[in-house]
Amino acid sequence: MNQAHSGDTVALELDQVFELSKSVLIAAGLSEAQATPVARVITEGQRDECHSHGLFRLPGCVQTINHPRFNRAAAPVVENTTAAVTKVDAGFGFSLPAFEAALPTFVEKAKSIGVAVLAINHCFHFSALWPEIEMLTAQGLVAIAMTPSHSWVAPAGGTKGALGTNPIAFGWPREGQNPYVFDFATSAIARGDISLHKMAGKPLQPGWAIDADGNPTTDAAAALNGAMLTFGGHKGSALSTMIELLAGPLIADMTSLESMDFDDGVKAAPAHGEILMAFDPKILGGTRDNQASSERLFSAISDQGARLPSLRRYEARARSLAHGVRIPRHLYEQIMSLPRAG
C-alpha cells in the first residue's frame, strides 16, 4: 500500500481506506459479503471527517468479531411482514449487511403506500446512522433511524448507567443538492468522542459525564469508568427513553441494559435492534410542492448565518474526494499491526 507520511499523520486515498478496512475485516473472519458494507461505512465516516466513526472503529470491529456471541457466518434473513413492515434478522452479525439486504423491499414499500417501517433484529451495531439515512434520501424518501446501545448513560437526576447513547437520525431529500440530515446521540457526546478525548489527553466539557461515584467530571478516563449524561437534561433523557422503547421492546429486541448484559464484559459493540421509518413525500404531500416550502425554511435558516446540519460533513467530503484523508500515525500503525487478508 502506498501512503504518504508527514509528522504524526499518514495520508491515504479513499480506496486505500476501503481496501484496508475490508482486508482487516476478512482476516478477522468476515465473508466478503459481510465485510464490504462494513468497510464502506467506515470509509464514509473517514471521508466525512467523522473521526470517531471512521478507521478509529476498525480495531473495535475486530474485537466485536471475536466476541463469542458474534456470528461470523451470519446471513441476513428478510421477512416480508406486512404491506408496510419489513423485518430482517441479522443473525448476530453486523447491522449493515442486514440493512442492505432489506433495503430494496423497504424502499419499494415506502414508495408503494407512502410509509414503511424496517426492523433490524439481533445485530451488532457500531456505525453512524447517517450513511443509512443518505441511502434512503437518495431514493427520494424522508427517513428516520434510531437504535439503542450499551447502558453507558445515566438518566437525568441519576448517577448510574441505564440508557444508551441512543442516536437518532433524520433525512430530507433536496433536489439537486445534498440532503438535509442530522444524526446525533442523545447523550451529551458520542462514546467514541470521549475515547478520542482520552487518547488526545483533552478534558471533556462540564456536563458531559460523571465519574464512578456519581460526581461531575471532565476527565475522559473517569467518564469511561463512570457514566455519560444526556443532552438537555430531562428532555434528552425522555427522548433517549423513547428510543430505547421504539428500537427495543417494540421490535422485540434488547434495551441498552440488556445489551450490556449480553456483552458480558467483552466490551464489544452493542448488540440489539434498530428501527427505521421511511416516508414518500410524493404520496404524503399530494399535489403540494413540498420542495418549495422546505427550501424556503432552509433558506430562512442559512440566510441569517446559521449552519444547517451536515454542512461540515459535506465540506469535508469534498476535501476528501479531492485530496484523500489523513489519520493519526498511531492509529495507522495500530491498524497495520492487525492481520490482513491477501
pLDDT digits (tens, 9 = 90+) for 228-261: 999 999 999 999 999 999 999 999 999 999 999 9
pTM for the predicted model, two decimal places: 0.93
53 annotated active-site: yes
Asked whether the beta carbons of 172 and 139 are under 8 A apart, the reply is no
Catalytic residue selected from 21, 23, 48, 53: 53
5 annotated active-site: no
Q: What cell does 292 get?
A: 418549495
- Candidates 128, 200, 171; CA nearest to 281 is 171
Asked whether the beta carbons of 50 and 60 are under 8 A apart, the reply is no
DSSP, res 146:
E
Distance CA 160, CA 184 (A): 22
Q: What cell does 220 get?
A: 475522559
Catalytic residue selected from 193, 211, 253, 263: 193
pLDDT < 70: residue spans in the chain: 1-6, 287-288
Task: Give the residues across from 9 on adjacent strands.
Answer: 6, 328
What are residue 277's phi and psi, to 5 degrees?
-125, 140
Predicted confidence at residue 196, as pLDDT, reads 84
193 annotated active-site: yes
Buried b (16+ CB within 10 A) or exposed e, 6-32: eeebbbbbbebbbbbbbbbbbbbebee
Asked whether the beta carbons of 256 and 164 are under 8 A apart, the reply is yes
For residue 177, the SS3 value is strand
* Long-range CB contact pairs, 328-334, < 8 A, 24+: 328/8, 328/9, 328/10, 329/5, 329/7, 329/8, 329/9, 329/10, 330/8, 331/55, 331/56, 332/3, 332/10, 332/12, 332/55, 334/59
Predicted confidence at residue 286, as pLDDT, reads 75
Catalytic residue selected from 31, 52, 195, 219: 52
